[in-house]
Chain A
């Protein structure tokens, strides 16, 4: 696969996850999910993207994280081997991440598109309390001897405990997702706090290689604290194997005097070395460390994938309910149309067709005289029949016009949707959104669409009716031979009737005056019922097809449009659905791509 494909794929995945994250942030009760989504998006764009584009493993990234005031900056200084970060007593001072780049300028800065996502790189050095979506980089001065972390980028991060933190935790997560190794700093005050511990667990779940640094304890107490931390925090991390404590290295950095803090490479070396050792143990080589980062990122995406999408599913369920409501309204619309209009509509246009066909079957030219004679003979029958029809046949049921029925049905449809939305308004924000927009936009738009569709429908209906009504006469005009044959048949029937009557009354007497009209009337009645039957077939067909026509031109498009209308604060059903299907596919495809790139990686290797 081309690098460009990878790029678009990871970018797409990260975008989808970010979109879901935004979606969650708009609903306060989903804020916790937003954290996981941000981490997942970060893993996709900062770890998997560069890996698939064959970026070199150097530099590795070490992120220093922890609660406010735990001594993150001091730890950064110890990692760098010089005072580069200012330890600041104001809690929550640092608001954006700062990267300390290795002294060796030959090590490239990752150049993937979308690297660190929404964070902008500051070109100038700024104080750490700049509260914007930015990060800054500072180049470390070369040291002698060269730092053991010579090809590491060291990240100083904001905290996650102060009450301003909710604004900048996402920046912290962005850097955490990128990191190959993380130093989790916990002080003697903080090490068993709920908020940092939760964050720590997230790091473990994401498969990051973590070194814990316990700070500020007295040197004599350090051992007790480490043991307590192991029991209370590490021991309670949910693992597959409940009895063991995860093998996460813990080092201590006791409460140091100012002079030690100001000289990490010299006086502080005795505390610095164990810390560096743990980091170096975790990264025997850049390639191995990076491979682990990539593998674990995939693991996390795979394992968390389903729960990540949970939020979207909930919304989708509500949108499904809306769709069902629309569909139910549609069914009611169609039923109403059928019951109040179609059931009583007779399509009188076909009566004319019948007359037309009957007229065509009369004999032309000189035969006209014969036809007229027969017509005259049938006069008594015609009168008798008219009388019977008048007394027996009931008048047409006066009914509402199609326009009226449809307008009323539409009103009913919209009302049912609005009432249902109002009933549900407490359940989910989506219903509130629907209600807010109902009168102002949804209703008038639906009406406008309806008007247009209805006009089109009526045009089609008229066309179809006309076509169906004209079909038989037209066929007969276009096929004169058939017409003439039929005329012959009709004439033959009449003749047969005449001959039969005469035969019955041989020798002819005055009774023939009664029998002859009776005979030709019967024959004509038979012809007429056949014509009626033929026209009736088209009439039924039109009637049956009418509902299909309505569905196709009016109710189906309108229902589709209504279905797509509601959105949950900018996230439409379509987008939710797309994201829901796309994300798992993208994760799977990334897995395949990574597997294809590193077929030699043994599967049994320890993920942490």
Chain B
């Protein structure tokens, strides 16, 4: 790429960055289930601001380079700028901290409103030196004095910097505050280094320690700057001599190795237009890479496999829980077996008519004399089916009470324990429980008493239907028994009466005893007893026989209910997170495209020494 086409190249970047900025902000505004930490959020917001700033800065004919002097108070930032300017433009002085109002030093061809917004409110000083036409020099407040507002000012300015001139003195080149700031920004901007007050560094050549410049170079190498630009200067001497290095004249009392002219030369001629654009592009590249890293960092995890595992584990746990709860709930019904049997007997006898019905009702009455189930059926048969609903309602209310008392006693506690168990299991399978906590807790607190009672009642009714209206071979057995019951007693009664009458009328046999006269009744009763035994054997209504059936139904019901409530939670949460992950992935892809595009066009200007590895 040649310099002539580079402005269009940098200008193309501007809308791309704007687009990225918009997407980042959209994403930030969207509500999220996977919580982004406030630190990450602040970082991304800051990056979005940077994108906006960069896009505006690049959207000009000739981009300018912002070079910012950064360092502790008293290291001579302002003096250095004054020496470079050849005039006392920045306030330098004795007391610390000196600079409170930053100075922006720029070419008169540059309009003030083209400057970065962060710089517009500083003291603006224009110059007419064409060698510095595309460069904006900024003197900043200190980073280490007791005046903490200075540090804030510096931080707000630093975002506008393309190149940071890290100014240190013998005392401060190694200070923690400056070093930390350098490390924070080294991946986002170009860095060059100045060791000012060089005379104080070089005055004790025999000392045991390293000379400060060597020490600093060693640290920078360790940080990945293999050939950093380091200038050893004595700005004050130049200012006091009234020289600015534009001529070959040098002050007399300069210590050996002083490099102020080299610094000036580098600023004026070393940073050509090619370099400026490379620095600019590199700055954008670093920013975009940073955005990519930051968005990668907030990428929600992939939870679907974990959700799958959690689902399987939860199913097992819920089945086990359904088993125990079935046991407890059917246990609460156990004392009422008499009532249940009574109820089932009544239900089972409904299909009988005539003599058999009367007989069965009477025997039931006697057998379940102690049952608390109110039997509204009158002692005498009425041949009506209306009473059916009454007993059922009664039974439902009754079971309601049983199940409710069971719930109050143990089940509520079991559900809290269950929720805890589920969370622990989810954690074991790598599912972050913060995402599940709320919903699981909610589900475990909702109206379980009603639901469980409902399950008990439903299973009982189902069992009853099964028992009274069987299917399969039992249906035929039942049909046969019913048919027999509804016809045989009457048939036997009539038949025996006919026989007696026949004997009396035709054979003229006079009945000789009451026993003989009542024999049809005996015969009928005997037949009915035989039938009763048959019913009891073939269509049992003993609780012990029904219980197994009831328990398995209740187990299924409970398990279904638990599954319905709990099992979808992990999958649903995982699906939500997947959607959020897709959004972030989209962001990352977009960012990566911009970064790749930029890398393709990166030019090989001589700027690598401004960046560490």
**Contacts from A to B (Cβ < 8 Å):** 67-70, 86-93, 127-129, 161-166, 187-195, 197, 217, 221, 224-225, 228, 232-233, 236, 258, 332, 335-336, 339-340, 343, 391-392, 394-395, 397-400, 408, 411-412, 415-416, 418-419, 422-423, 426, 435, 439
- Asked if B413 contacts A335 (CB within 8 A), the reply is yes
- Asked if A400 contacts B421 (CB within 8 A), the reply is no
Smallest CB–CB gap between B184 and chain A, Å? 13
Smallest CB–CB gap between B143 and chain A, Å? 9
Interface size class of B (residues with CB under 8 A): 35 or more
Q: Among A86, A221, A233, A340, which residue has its beta carbon within 8 angstroms of that of B410?
A: A340
Bound complex: CA A70 to CA B96 (Å): 15
Q: Which residues of B contact A191 (CB under 8 A)?
A: 96
B144, CB-defined interface residue at 8 Å: yes
- Asked if A88 contacts B95 (CB within 8 A), the reply is no
B427, CB-defined interface residue at 8 Å: yes
Q: Which residues of A contact B212 (CB under 8 A)?
A: 89-91
> Which residue of chain A has its CB nearest to the CB of B183?
A163
- Asked if A412 contacts B409 (CB within 8 A), the reply is no
Q: Which residues of B contact A258 (CB under 8 A)?
A: 203-204
- Asked if A422 contacts B172 (CB within 8 A), the reply is no
> Which residue of chain A has its CB nearest to the CB of B143?
A194
Q: Which residues 139-182 of B have a CB within 8 angstroms of A?
A: 144-148, 169-177, 179-180
Bound complex: CA A197 to CA B332 (Å): 75
- Asked if B331 contacts A236 (CB within 8 A), the reply is no
Q: Which residues of A contact B494 (CB under 8 A)?
A: none
- Asked if B204 contacts A419 (CB within 8 A), the reply is no
Q: Which residues 406-447 of B have a CB within 8 angstroms of A?
A: 409-410, 413-414, 416-417, 419-421, 423-424, 427-428, 433-434, 437
Candidate in B94, B202, B327, B417 with the most chain A CB atoms within 10 angstroms? B417
Q: Which residues of B contact A217 (CB under 8 A)?
A: 94
- Asked if A88 contacts B207 (CB within 8 A), the reply is yes
B31, CB-defined interface residue at 8 Å: no
For the complex of A and B, list the 3 residue pairs with the smallest distance between their C-beta atoms, beginning with the closest.
A90-B209, A69-B171, A189-B74
Smallest CB–CB gap between B593 and chain A, Å? 35
B378, CB-defined interface residue at 8 Å: no
Bound complex: CA A189 to CA B73 (Å): 7
Known contacts A68-B174, A224-B94, A418-B424, A89 near B410 by CB under 8 Å: no
- Asked if B420 contacts A415 (CB within 8 A), the reply is yes
- Asked if B170 contacts A91 (CB within 8 A), the reply is yes
Known contacts A339-B409, A398-B331, A422-B423, A195 near B144 by CB under 8 Å: yes
Bound complex: CA A68 to CA B200 (Å): 13
Smallest CB–CB gap between A520 and chain B, Å? 28
Would you mind naming 12 contact pairs between A and B with Cβ atoms under 8 Å apart? A70-B171, A89-B209, A128-B208, A189-B75, A192-B95, A194-B145, A224-B95, A232-B95, A258-B204, A335-B413, A339-B410, A415-B417
Q: A89-B201, A408-B324, A419-B420 are in contact. List 13 more A-B contacts (CB 8 A).
A: A68-B174, A70-B171, A89-B203, A91-B175, A189-B96, A192-B95, A193-B73, A228-B95, A233-B146, A394-B336, A412-B416, A415-B417, A415-B420
Q: Which residues 377-396 of B have a CB within 8 angstroms of A?
A: none
Q: Which residues 396-412 of B have a CB within 8 angstroms of A?
A: 409-410
- Asked if B176 contacts A340 (CB within 8 A), the reply is no
Bound complex: CA A339 to CA B171 (Å): 75
Bound complex: CA A400 to CA B174 (Å): 72
Bound complex: CA A86 to CA B209 (Å): 10
Q: Which residues of A contact B327 (CB under 8 A)?
A: 400
Interface string of B208-232 (1 = CB under 8 A from A): 1111100100000000000000000
- Asked if B421 contacts A415 (CB within 8 A), the reply is yes
Q: Which residues of B contact A397 (CB under 8 A)?
A: 331-332, 334-335
Bound complex: CA A340 to CA B409 (Å): 8
- Asked if A68 contacts B421 (CB within 8 A), the reply is no
- Asked if B417 contacts A127 (CB within 8 A), the reply is no
Bound complex: CA A426 to CA B433 (Å): 12
Smallest CB–CB gap between B142 and chain A, Å? 9
Q: Which residues of A contact B95 (CB under 8 A)?
A: 192, 224-225, 228, 232
Candidate in B171, B215, B413 with the most chain A CB atoms within 10 angstroms? B171
Q: Which residues of A contact B247 (CB under 8 A)?
A: none
Candidate in A399, A419, A423 with the most chain B CB atoms within 10 angstroms? A419
Q: Which residues of A contact B410 (CB under 8 A)?
A: 336, 339-340
- Asked if B172 contacts A398 (CB within 8 A), the reply is no
Bound complex: CA A335 to CA B427 (Å): 27
Q: Among A70, A340, A423, which residue has its beta carbon within 8 angstroms of that of B433?
A: A423
Known contacts A87-B207, A91-B172, A193 near B145 by CB under 8 Å: yes
Known contacts A233-B146, A423-B434, A188 near B175 by CB under 8 Å: no
Smallest CB–CB gap between A474 and chain B, Å? 35
Smallest CB–CB gap between A7 and chain B, Å? 38
Q: Among A221, A391, A399, which residue has its beta carbon within 8 angstroms of that of B331?
A: A399
**Contacts from B to A (Cβ < 8 Å):** 72-75, 94-97, 144-148, 169-177, 179-180, 200-204, 207-212, 215, 324, 327-328, 331-332, 334-338, 369-370, 409-410, 413-414, 416-417, 419-421, 423-424, 427-428, 433-434, 437
Q: Which residues of A contact B335 (CB under 8 A)?
A: 394-395, 397
Bound complex: CA A225 to CA B96 (Å): 9
Bound complex: CA A164 to CA B410 (Å): 62
Smallest CB–CB gap between A175 and chain B, Å? 20
Known contacts A88-B204, A89-B207, A194-B144, A163 near B424 by CB under 8 Å: no
Q: Which residues of A contact B97 (CB under 8 A)?
A: 192
Candidate in B94, B96, B201, B409 with the most chain A CB atoms within 10 angstroms? B96
- Asked if B420 contacts A69 (CB within 8 A), the reply is no
Smallest CB–CB gap between A125 and chain B, Å? 12
Q: Which residues of A contact B72 (CB under 8 A)?
A: 189, 193
Smallest CB–CB gap between A286 and chain B, Å? 34
- Asked if A165 contacts B144 (CB within 8 A), the reply is no
Bound complex: CA A314 to CA B173 (Å): 38
Q: Which residues of A contact B334 (CB under 8 A)?
A: 395, 397-398
Smallest CB–CB gap between B313 and chain A, Å? 13
Bound complex: CA A190 to CA B171 (Å): 8
Bound complex: CA A164 to CA B209 (Å): 15
Q: Among B169, B173, B204, B369, which residue has its beta carbon within 8 angstroms of that of A391?
A: B369
Bound complex: CA A419 to CA B418 (Å): 11
Q: Which residues of B contact A236 (CB under 8 A)?
A: 146
Q: Which residues of B contact A163 (CB under 8 A)?
A: 174-176, 179-180
Candidate in A221, A228, A418 with the most chain B CB atoms within 10 angstroms? A418
> Which residue of chain A has its CB nearest to the CB of B432?
A422
Bound complex: CA A137 to CA B169 (Å): 31
Bound complex: CA A88 to CA B417 (Å): 67
Smallest CB–CB gap between A584 and chain B, Å? 33
> Which residue of chain B has its CB nearest to the CB of A194?
B146
Q: Which residues of B contact A221 (CB under 8 A)?
A: 94
- Asked if B201 contacts A412 (CB within 8 A), the reply is no
Smallest CB–CB gap between B26 and chain A, Å? 27
- Asked if A162 contacts B94 (CB within 8 A), the reply is no
- Asked if B417 contacts A411 (CB within 8 A), the reply is yes
Q: Among B146, B210, B370, B428, which residue has its beta carbon within 8 angstroms of that of A392?
A: B370
- Asked if A87 contacts B204 (CB within 8 A), the reply is yes
Q: Which residues of A contact B417 (CB under 8 A)?
A: 332, 411-412, 415-416
Smallest CB–CB gap between B316 and chain A, Å? 14
Q: Which residues of A contact B169 (CB under 8 A)?
A: 69, 189
> Which residue of chain A has its CB nearest to the CB of B178?
A163
- Asked if B175 contacts A68 (CB within 8 A), the reply is yes
Q: Among A89, A165, A166, which residue has its beta carbon within 8 angstroms of that of B200?
A: A89
- Asked if B204 contacts A89 (CB within 8 A), the reply is yes
- Asked if A423 contacts B437 (CB within 8 A), the reply is yes
Candidate in B203, B336, B428 with the most chain A CB atoms within 10 angstroms? B203
Q: Which residues of A contact B337 (CB under 8 A)?
A: 395
- Asked if A91 contacts B179 (CB within 8 A), the reply is no
Q: Which residues of A contact B424 (CB under 8 A)?
A: 415, 418-419, 422
Smallest CB–CB gap between A345 and chain B, Å? 13
Bound complex: CA A189 to CA B207 (Å): 22
Smallest CB–CB gap between A301 and chain B, Å? 28
